[in-house]
Amino acid sequence: MSNGVTDAVDWVECLELHCLPDADVLKRYPNAWLTYMCHRAETVASASSTNCLPRLKSGDLDLEDYEFVICSMVWRVIRYSDIKTESNGTYQFTRFDSQDNPPGKDASPNLYLSKREKQILDGYANGRGPIGTVGVGVNRIYGM
């Protein structure tokens, strides 16, 4: 997805920084796939939060917050593929996470935007949301 703001983002580096303790997991995936999934996550995020791109372009949404949301979405898919059962009929291997997942961190085979992440994109987390504020509405009308 080309939106002019995130074209120069190195998504592989962002994923490594986002989950540094588990960065070795990324070595199992080709960089092209990781970048592709981040671009798909951008599409899902912009479809789920219509204020996301206007806020990103106007500077109301910090690029690091946007990167955090996209990386969180992709990491859920990566964790899902890591926490599964494999069997060839005689041998069975189960890899699972022994701890409960924090809210919004559930592994999933699909990209999805959690409620908390949508709030970050829409601006509710810092009180600069699209409802009840003139700033965001005016920015959207005049393309500021």
pLDDT by residue (tens digit) across 81-97? 765 555 566 665 555 55
Helix (H) or strand (E) holding 129: none
Residue 131, sorted as left (phi over 0), alpha (psi -120 to 50) or beta, turns out to be: beta
CA atoms within 13 A on the CB side of 54: 18
Band of pLDDT at residue 134, cut at 50, 70 and 90: very low
pTM above the 0.85 mark?
no
Residue 93, SS3 per DSSP: strand
pLDDT by residue (tens digit) across 88-124? 666 655 555 544 555 445 666 778 888 888 889 988 7
Residue 86, SS3 per DSSP: strand
Give the pLDDT confidence score for residue 43 in this predicted structure: 92
**Cα angle: 117, vertex 10, 14; to 5 degrees:** 45
- The pLDDT > 90 percentage for the chain reads 21
